[in-house]
Structure 1
């Protein structure tokens, strides 16, 4: 297989078209098209579906891109490191992270990483949706309790748990009262919540009087006396210590686990490895208390 043709194929696939790849690399569009056609002929496979306005990877093309793109990047980085006489990470690193974690900690994490690795251009996108790492050219994604994905590998780097909290001004519920609640989004239609306390399990009725789009908004509303809410302990631990919020109990349900995910491959880029190590240094034990302390300093 012609490695130069393979590199040109990856260039076109990464940029989503011959024209964009030509402008990015400063090479003739006709040359790139010819090299990709030669690669298709040598493999006896169609790697792109070509339309009048769109260029799309075929199933075989996507598989080839996923398997070879990371390896070519690793070869380029290794050559650059040898040429420069060192292994300092460099280049662009694109990370996708969930909204709440980004609001709580990612600004500080990113700034510390940029100081440590000045030759890496870190780009962080905040979103809770599942992203296609290959098509959207992410090097690493951070997700909460992700669904299994055979094309990705990863590790848990942080854990959290949900607690029910309210302002001291909000009376604790009884069997005959309905407590106003602040919830995130419109999907939570619960009329009763169940929590665990030192005295045992407790179930109480709630009326969602506020529906807000972020956990930060929910916490601020609860601080003001808007009602009871279910929030991560790391987000409210300082309020619990200060007495501005009261712990009503731990919420039943699966634990919250934050994962780092990246394409399954033998060799990780130096940039991704450095970022994974940076997260491990920030949260060596991966506990909610560590996250609370990190955002509180």
Structure 2
């Protein structure tokens, strides 16, 4: 038995909550992961996991072994990292998750500079507007907008993105240009961003001179992915509220028109987030420091005059 490999397999099963997800994240066959955990249990003489057809649960002995073995695994990572730090070359892979428009309009255009600076770090980029479980999905960090809702996560602020309301010139010619937010309730067609987990539409938000307004009307179309949300607006289906960085190019070339400019809501905060329990490797640390340095300028929005 390769005890170190068995420890890593066991830890991933605990974190992922299933042998299937653990095997996927380790890029190993399920049978191999299962065999390694069985051999580890036989070696220790205790049951670490309770298996049923539907779920895997950790025994009290398994919880104790997980806590102690993960400390050893982290110490080994520290040893490896110390040598790469000494050589000045952080290396290895990072799994990053980011929303659709943030990936396309902000992060990916920046990545060539990161790749040139740290050529021995491999990025596995997951692009989705759906929230991920950082532990179960074995993700090193996520980049997300909005308020933080978990005390178990560590976050660093990456900047704030302006939110703008816009439509195509053709739409505005047909339906008119609203001068006040309340006019959206009268005959206008809204394209709402809809949370994929709940199906709840995000209300249109406006703010002026400290006065905040929310418009909650039945949308004509709801979209649960940020790039497709903007595409629906570009197709002339209605009015959207979106990030300035996503709409900057079509507004600059006249494909879209910003409306209700005096009523722009407060900018939307963005953070890079990782679990408190996740060991911060040297490669993750340099990636986060680079994000803090590079991200704010891409989030900012300066339309052409």
TM-score, normalised relative to structure 1: 0.71
Aligned to 1:82: 83
Give unpaired runs (5+ residues) of structure 2.
none
Aligned to 1:271: 283
More displaced 10-residue stretch of structure 1: 141-150 or 15-24: 15-24
CA distance in 2, matches of 1:59, 1:257: 40
1:214–1:132: structure 2 CA closer, same or farther, 3 Å change rule? closer
> Which residue of the other structure, out of 218, 238, 246, is the alignment partner of 2:258?
246
Once the two structures are TM-superposed, the CA of residue 214 in structure 1 deviates from its matched residue by: 3.0
**CA deviations over 1:153-209 (Å, ceiling 9, x no partner):** 11221322322212334012376942122223463396xx563468x8789896633
Q: What aligned pairs does 1:46-85 form with structure 2 within 5 A after superposition?
A: 46-51=47-52, 56-58=57-59, 61=62, 65=66, 69=70, 72-79=73-80, 81-82=82-83, 85=86
1:109 is aligned to 110
> Contact (CA 8 Å) 1:22, 1:29: kept in 2 or not?
no
Q: Secondary structure of the residue that 1:211 maps to in structure 2?
A: strand
Cα distance in 2, alignment partners of residues 136 and 203 from structure 1: 35
Task: Tell me how far apart the structure 1 counterparts of residues 223 and 27 of structure 2 sit (CA, whole Å).
Answer: 45
Do the aligned partners of 1:5 and 1:36 also contact (CA within 8 Å) in 2?
no
Give the match for residue 178 of structure 2. Answer: 173
Q: Return the offset for 1:116.
A: 2.2
The correspondence for 2:219, drawn from 208, 211, 231, is 208
Q: Tell me the residue number matched to 2:230.
A: 219
Count matched residues: 280
Find the residue that maps to 2:70 and give its secondary structure: helix
User: RMSD across aligned C-alpha pairs, in angstroms?
Assistant: 4.4
Query: Residue 277 of structure 1: CA displacement?
Result: 1.5
Greater strand share, 1 or 2? 1
Q: What does residue range 50-199 of structure 1 map to in structure 2 within 5 Å? A: 50-51=51-52, 56-58=57-59, 61=62, 65=66, 69=70, 72-79=73-80, 81-82=82-83, 85-145=86-146, 147-169=148-170, 170=172, 171-173=176-178, 177-185=186-194, 187-188=200-201, 195-196=206-207
CA contact (8 A) 1:71 1:267 kept: no
